[in-house]
Amino acid sequence: MADIKLISAYKRYDTESVLNGVSIHVNNGEYISLIGASGCGKTTTLKIIAGLIKACSGQVLFNNVNASKLSENKSRAVIVDQNVLLFPHMTVERNINFGLRIRRVSKEKIKEKTEKLLEMIQLSEHKNKFPSELSGGQMQRVAIARAMAIEPEVLLLDEPFSKLDVSLREDMRKFIKEVHENHKITIIMVTHDKEEAFLMSDRVAFMDNGKIEQYDTPENIYKRPNSMKVARFFGHCNFIEGTIENSVFTSKLGTYSVDEKKEGKVTMLIRSEQIKIVREGEQNATGIVTDYRYAGEKSYLKLDSNGVTLGIHTTEDIKYRLRDTIHIKIDYKKGVLLW
Amino acid sequence: MKDFFSKLIIFIMLLPLIPLMLWPFIASWRWPQLIPLFGDARGFKHFFSAGSNSINILLFSILLSIIVTIITLAIALPAAKAIAFYSFKGKNIIKTVILLPVIVPMVAVSMGIHVSFIYLGLANNCIGVILIHLIPGLPYAVRILLNSFLLIGDDIATQGKNLGANSLQVLWYITLPLIMPGVIAASTMVYIISFSQYFITFLIGGGRVVTFSMLMFPLIQRGERVLASTYSIVFLASILLVVIVADKVIKGFFNDSNFLV
Ligand SMILES: Nc1ncnc2c1ncn2[C@@H]1O[C@H](COP(=O)(O)OP(=O)(O)O)[C@@H](O)[C@H]1O
Ligand SMILES: [Mg+2]
């Protein structure tokens, strides 16, 4: 177990700058997710933490000790690559204990540990099979066991679910959660699935363009995003432009008293689910339907409300027609001010 | 159907070998004889006779070509790996230079090299012959191994490193076993190319280094059918034997279950 700090990591390849000052602090035993669009530098960040590539500048600290001062061979952080990368010429068993064998651990110890790990991933009967004879989920589990065998302080999971069928992901999530809890290991997981990040981790770091935009608990990331970029990534949003004067927010949709001392132009984020369709009389705004899409468990609507376009969704099974006028209630209390 | 055609092709390719197989045992086959007169296999007698020294030359040739193969691979492996995974200045030039011997006639190359070898004292001896034999096989070895490296990629070696293996362990336990099919193909190719060289061996060896193909050349030139085909059969059989043994040895050596604990 270890507490890890990555301090202002910069990385560029030839002409392309991939990381523009990434800093992240992961507590001992924490489970965090790195999330962001493809190509934003997530894998690069993991590889720098694992010491597999060198940052152009910046530091990695394990328990406040510079990683470059620690012997590289200790593999304090082990990556489970997004392509799994089992050794195709070794059996499941020998894949798992590869790290132990090269360390010349005693035969008995290797045997004991391998058996335990095989049990953990429930592949004891398959220990003599080769990777090509396994299913995607089984391969993924072998890769995790192989990493766990050398007892790293940090497990780095690079998109561990992306190659799995949806039906397998649930099992895999449970399995990884169990590994995390039973072994009290620090985990950094890369994903581009926001639900997965929220479900699995204590904290989520949202990356964009080689920078961490926000690093916080799932709840804070969703409810208190610090920019439009973050807000947009994690859910359907409406941005209402307005001004605040004397603690009153004024926009084309009307006025609302806010608990805010600052004054001036501001954008208020209202999530789609914070606008409800209500009966006449209960509304604080009205809108004309400009678009309606049925998506099964919910329907998506676009409204024009006094010149402001609002996107909302409803789970009620009512069919709306274009140009219908509907009454809505905007839950300003949950609105987030983005200056 | 596909099976039939592949069998047909193999048959057509083996067809010329049939007379080759027969000739060593023929005493005379002159017009208008329809059926040859079979004799006492004097080709083989000649080959095994103490005076001919053929067996020693064969063994020497095999040894020479094995040494050439090992040195070629020792050069080709790091070269192919560097070309596959590292970006460096002049990579394309190096790629071209390595392939050059395939394009430029070996004769032209060796003439120039011969002059230098005379200055360096490498002409007329085994070391010179080994060095000159490295040239024709190297481009093929690098090409084949380059493809093997590209096929397995760099990531799997990095994964091994991440699990704590040092560079030598990664090479030994991961990279080499994975590119082994390429290594076998490359060594077979290089061995056969070296074993078949006639002209450059003659030129650089100055007639003092005698290999098996040099022994065969005058027999073929003189139209000594019985002896020429006998020596050809020995030539083919020796290659086959060396290749099969090498394949077994290399595969057995890099079998993962032999490694570590
Ligand atoms: N070895 C490399 N050489 C050049 N560019 C690279 C290399 N590795 C990654 N990149 C580039 O760096 C960027 C970030 O890559 P990566 O960290 O893999 O993104 P992510 O994992 O978030 O999808 C990409 O644009 C990619 O093209
Ligand atoms: Mg990636």
Contacts of B165 in chain A (CB under 8 A): 98-99, 102
Measure CB to CB from residue B261 to each of A75, A90, A101 and give the nearest one: A101
A interface with B, Cβ–Cβ < 8 A, is 50, 52, 73-75, 78-79, 81, 83, 85, 87-91, 94, 98-99, 101-103, 107, 110, 146-147, 150
In a domain, B62, yes or no: yes
pLDDT category of residue A168 using cuts at 50, 70 and 90: confident
CATH classification of the domain holding B188:
1.10.3720.10
pLDDT, position B156: 94
Contact indicator for A40, A207 with CB cutoff of 8 Å: yes
How far is Cα A14 from Cα A55, in angstroms, rounded to an integer? 13
What domain range includes position B195? 53-85+93-254
Structure tokens at B49: 């006779």
Pairing state between β A237-245 and A264-271: antiparallel
Q: How many domains does chain B have?
A: 1
The class of domain A4-228 in CATH terms is alpha beta
Residues of chain A with CATH 2.40.50.140: 237-338
- Please identify every residue whose CB atom is under 5 Å from ligand 2, which is an ion: A 43
pLDDT, position A18: 92
Structure tokens at A110: 């290797």
In a domain, B10, yes or no: no
In a domain, B18, yes or no: no
Q: Which of A72, A76, A118, A75 is nearest to A97 (CA)?
A: A118
Q: Which residues of A103-112 are buried (b: 16+ CB within 10 A; e: fewer)?
A: bebeeeebee
Judge whether residue A71 has pLDDT over 70. Answer: no
pLDDT category of residue B245 using cuts at 50, 70 and 90: very high
Structure tokens at A273: 């689910």
Give whichever of A67-81, B97-111, B180-194, B220-234 has the largest mean pLDDT: B180-194
Q: In what order do the strands lie in the sheet with A325-330?
A: A275-277, A325-330, A285-294, A299-305, A308-314
Residue A139 φ then ψ, to 5°:
-60, -45
Q: Is the CB of A42 under 6 A from ligand 1?
A: yes
Strands (E), chain B: 26-28, 37-38
pLDDT, position A258: 80
What's chain A's average pLDDT? 88
In a domain, B14, yes or no: no
Reduced to 3 states (helix: H, G, I; strand: E, B; else coil), residue A134 is coil
In a domain, B3, yes or no: no
Q: How many contacts does A have with B, using Cβ atoms within 8 A?
A: 56
Contacts of A94 in chain B (CB under 8 A): 256-257
Q: Is the CB of A18 under 6 A from ligand 1?
A: yes
| B176 to chain A: closest CA residue | A89
Cβ distance B173 to A88 less than 8 Å, yes or no, reads no
Among the bound ligands, name the one nearest to the CA of residue A209.
1
For the beta carbon of residue A325, count every other beta carbon within 10 angstroms.
10
Contact indicator for A93, A99 with CB cutoff of 8 Å: no
B interface with A, Cβ–Cβ < 8 A, is 155-156, 158-166, 169, 173-174, 177-178, 256-257, 259-261
Query: Minimal Cα–Cα distance from A198 to chain B, Å?
Result: 28
In a domain, B112, yes or no: yes
Any idea which of A71-85, A155-169, A210-224 has the lowest mean pLDDT?
Answer: A71-85
Please compute the mean of the pLDDT values over residues B142-165 and round it to a whole number.
93
Greater confidence (A113 vs A247) lies with A113
Q: Is the CB of A48 under 6 A from ligand 1?
A: no
For the beta carbon of residue A54, count every other beta carbon within 10 angstroms.
11
Classify domain A237-338 by CATH number.
2.40.50.140
Per-residue model confidence as pLDDT tens digits over A31-52: 999 999 988 999 999 999 988 8
Report ipTM for this prediction.
0.80
pLDDT, position B261: 59
Q: Which one-letter DSSP state was computed for residue B175?
A: I
Residues of chain A with CATH 3.40.50.300: 4-228
pLDDT, position B260: 66
Residue to mutate among B151, B155, B162, B254, with most A CBs inside 10 A, is B162
Q: Which of A303, A293, A290 is nearest to A330 (CA)?
A: A303
Q: How far is the CA of B82 from the centre of ligand 2 (A)?
A: 25
pLDDT category of residue B253 using cuts at 50, 70 and 90: confident
| B258 to chain A: closest CA residue | A90
Q: Is the CB of A38 under 6 A from ligand 1?
A: yes
Chain-centroid distance, C-alpha A140: 19
Give whichever of A257-266, B141-150, B224-233 has the largest mean pLDDT: B141-150
